[in-house]
């Protein structure tokens, strides 16, 4: 297990290096000048040149890239061009909000999808199964940028039950969490259904029923337990999708998280802050996938790491 963990950890280095290089390249190739955006169109060329020199933007790209990589190794991602605040501090202020939203979305997805998928699998081919499949397909088909405003219009504007934006109470969390969790729930429900159906066909489930186990016990204790590997895989992969989806959701509901900070940073061409936000998302995605691989061994003792 230790050797596997170290090997996987080392494999994440080129992945993160590739992400860092790609982000740095793309953000610098996009047309526009952050200094001009900061000072305005009326700024004199002398002021623009002075500001570019102060921020180090007049240096060659490879020098800027080298400085950025050096800063990453020392957890120093630079200073925001717009607010002059350290990037790590600016991101740290937003991380709790994003983690809160992601956890709520994952909880909603699991609570909705697992029972729906199991019920559909147990009643495969029936009206119940068709209804559950239809609901899952609808959830996959509806994009977050459409579902979010729709929920806001219905439950905030028309009914007045929930706040439309901001963060502070549990009521503020409901709409963005549903918007972010619904597509994940649809994918997870379909995976659960397919995995449980496959396990229900195995001989050990029939043997459990022959020994007198109830239908519910055979499904929950045997079939569902052994179908957790693909379910956990989807959860691990979709957690990264939750983080990227939070960019849209946080913007719609003015949720003060990393996703909204990323959009604001892109608008102002705040290079250090954009790179820091995307680097955080990439590191989180890689860490969750590594954790998912390690969980496999606990779910299925037959899995051995070499």
DSSP codes, 197-235: HHHHTSHHHHHHHHTT--HHHIIIIIIIHHTHHHHHHHH
The neighbour count for residue 226, using CB atoms within 10 Å, is: 17
- Specify the CATH number for 99-299; select among 1.10.3720.10, 1.10.150.120, 3.30.70.260, 1.10.10.60: 1.10.3720.10
Q: What are phi and psi of 86, to 5 degrees?
A: -55, 135
How do the domains of the chain map onto residue ranges?
16-73, 99-299
The answer to whether 258 and 189 have CB atoms below 8 angstroms apart is no
**Of the candidates 267, 269, 262, the residue with the CA atom closest to the CA atom of residue 33:** 269
Tens-of-pLDDT digits for all 306 residues of the chain? 677 667 777 777 788 788 778 877 776 766 666 666 666 666 677 766 776 776 666 677 778 788 777 777 777 777 787 778 888 888 888 888 888 888 888 888 888 888 888 888 777 778 887 888 787 777 777 777 788 888 888 888 888 888 887 787 888 888 888 888 888 888 888 888 888 777 777 666 667 667 766 666 667 666 676 777 777 777 877 777 777 667 788 888 888 888 888 888 877 777 778 888 888 887 887 777 777 777 766 666 555 555
Residue pointed to by tokens 């909880």: 107
Q: How many CB atoms lie within 10 A of CB 221?
A: 14
Query: Per DSSP, what are the bridge partners of residue 86?
Result: 79
Half-sphere exposure (Cβ direction) of 140: Cα atoms closer than 13 Å: 14
**3-state helix vs strand vs coil in the chain, percent to 5:** 80, 0, 20
Chain Cα centroid distance, residue 59 = 34
Instruction: Report the DSSP beta bridge partners of residue 79.
Output: 86
Evaluate whether 251 touches 180 at the Cβ level (below 8 Å). Answer: no
């Amino acid at each position: 297990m230790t050797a596997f963990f170290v090997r996987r950890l080392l494999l994440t280095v080129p992945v993160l290096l590739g992400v860092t290089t790609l982000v740095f390249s793309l953000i610098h190739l996009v047309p526009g000048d952050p200094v001009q955006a900061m000072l305005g169109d009326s700024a004199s060329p002398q002021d623009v040149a002075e500001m570019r020199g102060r921020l180090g933007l007049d240096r060659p790209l490879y020098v800027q890239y080298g400085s950025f990589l050096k800063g990453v190794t020392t957890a120093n991602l630079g200073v925001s061009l717009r607010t002059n605040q350290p990037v790590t501090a600016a991101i740290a202020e937003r991380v709790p909000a994003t983690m809160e939203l992601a956890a709520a979305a994952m909880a909603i997805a699991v609570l909705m999808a697992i029972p729906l998928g199991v019920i559909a699998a147990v009643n495969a081919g029936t009206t119940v199964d068709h209804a559950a499949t239809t609901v899952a397909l609808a959830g996959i088909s509806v994009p977050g940028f459409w579902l979010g405003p729709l929920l806001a219009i219905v439950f905030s504007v028309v009914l007045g039950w929930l706040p439309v934006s901001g963060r502070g109470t549990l009521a503020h969390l409901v709409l963005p969490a549903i918007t972010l969790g619904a597509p994940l729930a649809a994918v997870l429900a379909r995976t659960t259904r397919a995995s449980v159906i496959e396990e229900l066909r195995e001989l050990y489930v029939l043997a459990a029923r022959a020994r007198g186990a109830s239908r519910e016990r055979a499904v929950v204790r045997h079939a569902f337990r052994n179908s957790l590997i693909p379910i956990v895989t989807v959860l691990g992969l979709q957690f990264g999708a939750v983080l990227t989806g939070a960019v849209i959701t946080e913007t719609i509901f003015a949720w003060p998280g990393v996703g909204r900070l990323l959009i604001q940073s892109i608008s102002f061409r705040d290079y250090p802050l954009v790179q820091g936000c995307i680097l955080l998302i990439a590191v989180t995605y890689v860490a969750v996938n590594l954790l998912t691989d390690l969980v496999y061994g606990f779910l299925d003792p037959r899995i051995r790491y070499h």
